[in-house]
A and B are shown apart, each in its own frame.
Chain A
Amino acid sequence: MKPNNYEILHALKDINFSVEEGEMFGIIGKNGSGKSTLLKIMSRILIPTEGSVITKKAVTPFLELGVGFNYDFTAAENVKIYGIIMGLTPRDIEDKTEAILEFAGISQFRDTKLRNFSSGMQVRLAFSTAIQTNPQILLLDEVLAVGDKEFQKKCLHELERFKREGVTIIFVSHDLGSVKKHCERTLLLNHGIQVMIGETDEVVARYEQSG
């Protein structure tokens, strides 16, 4: 099945950058500019037609929270399922379940089925579980845009902790404020092309300029 020539669309082309260990690196750009595709390539979910990604440490993608959540199972069971999908060991999960439920603010609903939870509670549970993984390279795709103000503050706090612990973080966001606040360097994509890479302030200024 050969695609017709006029159907070929390069989701990404000529992308070339490196991220230092312990750095927090931003990726910004309009919808459809290829940000998520780039993250998926870095996570090995998609295989690039050309080129390669070289990583020195394990990559943990947070592309979507609650992957593998199952509505027929209880909160505690879902922590176990999701935790294992995210690479935790059963022992880790056993030890941390209480803490996870508490962080999510749903300790009293431990044995309630997930289907009875509000979407906010589900996301909080997912995030609380996901941060228990000890990431070395963390890929974040807009996942912080969840929950209420208070929970978002808790999330940012955890992110700061990761940063302090020397985790390399690649952060994709539309929230330019957060990018400016957290990332030293940023990459700007437009229609799959690397427009600019450098100091976050300059890159964000360029992006805002281009409208």
Chain B
Amino acid sequence: MLFQHIRELYNYRNLIWVLAWVEFKQRYKNSVLGYFWSLLEPLMMLGVLYIVFSNLMRIQVEHYQLFLLQGIIMWNFFCRATSMGLSAIVGKPHLVQKVYFPRDILVISGCTTALLMGIFESVIFIGFMLFFQIPLSVNIIVLPVVIFLFFIIALGASLTLAALNTYYRDIQYIWAVVLQIGFFASPILYPLTIFPPLLFRILSYSPIAQVLYLARDVTLYSKVPNLASFSYAIVISIIVLGTGYAIFSRLEPKFAEEL
């Protein structure tokens, strides 16, 4: 079953890629600055947040500007992936009702678009790394794996959201609120240590927090990835993706009717 589906998806790789590419390209098609926007947006966000949090809140973190930027880029990826995933089915009724291909392709390509945007935004991050002359270590080779796990988590969440949203459009409003809470409950602007011990422990269970820690450790701080965090992220990503597929494949047969 599983391998058969993976093979089927492999046969549709061109479709996944084209759908992702179209979405990516379309974002900037009718704007004057084009792709430049995708660099300007996180840069402006970084500027504002940096001023607020380093001066007013007096956060003490090593390489804070990079800590913040990496957090913003990765969080942006997660927000976009799940938001695009959420509307992957509902937003493309023609592709669901007039042609047939496995519907998870729409969700996968939505997450891929978000990944493309994230990779593109990382150009600024690399620029900052060079500018501040942050030394890299061998540990950086773990970063693609961490990003892959993050992608899997986002995909699993997106599959769940896309399927549920087809039946109950309320999901999109609920998710918008969840994302807002998530922004402040994750170590994006500040390390979770600023919270009281109990809250700190609870929030540390968030897979997003663990992924952010891992990513920063191997890029900014030249640390060996924490094995506990790493195993935790792997286990969670498998659970999230499994749950996503279980819900998605159960609801998929009726998608065309529900739209």
Number of interface residues of B (CB under 8 A): 20
Inter-subunit contact B94/A68 (CB<8 Å) = yes
The verdict on B22 contacting chain A, using a C-beta distance below 8 Å, is yes
Q: Secondary structure of the B side of the interface?
A: helix
The verdict on B196 contacting chain A, using a C-beta distance below 8 Å, is no
The verdict on B100 contacting chain A, using a C-beta distance below 8 Å, is yes
Chain B minimum-CB-distance residue to A141: B98
Inter-subunit contact A70/B22 (CB<8 Å) = yes
The verdict on A61 contacting chain B, using a C-beta distance below 8 Å, is yes
Cβ of B30: which chain A residues have Cβ within 8 Å of it? 72
Q: Which of A43, A64, A84 contacts B14 (CB 8 A)?
A: A84
How far is A94 from B95 in the complex, measured between Cα atoms in Å? 23
Q: Secondary structure of the A side of the interface?
A: loop
A45 shortest CB reach to chain B, Å:
5
- Chain B window 98-116, contacts with chain A (Cβ cutoff 8 Å), 1 for yes, 0 for no: 1111000000000000000
How far is A45 from B258 in the complex, measured between Cα atoms in Å? 12
Cβ of B14: which chain A residues have Cβ within 8 Å of it? 84, 89-90
How far is A59 from B101 in the complex, measured between Cα atoms in Å? 11
Inter-subunit contact A81/B94 (CB<8 Å) = no
Inter-subunit contact B99/A67 (CB<8 Å) = yes
The verdict on A121 contacting chain B, using a C-beta distance below 8 Å, is no
Inter-subunit contact B22/A85 (CB<8 Å) = no
Inter-subunit contact A46/B257 (CB<8 Å) = yes
Q: Residues of A at under 8 Å CB distance from B?
A: 40, 43-47, 59, 61, 63-64, 67-68, 70, 72-73, 80-81, 84-86, 89-90
Inter-subunit contact A72/B100 (CB<8 Å) = no
Provided the pairs A40-B256, A70-B26, A72-B29 are in contact, do residues A81 and B98 lie with their beta carbons within 8 angstroms?
no
Which positions 13-33 of chain B face chain A at CB distance < 8 Å?
14-15, 18, 22, 25-26, 29-30
Inter-subunit contact A61/B99 (CB<8 Å) = yes
A56 shortest CB reach to chain B, Å:
17
Cβ of B98: which chain A residues have Cβ within 8 Å of it? 45, 61, 63-64, 67
Cβ of A86: which chain B residues have Cβ within 8 Å of it? 99
Inter-subunit contact A45/B97 (CB<8 Å) = yes
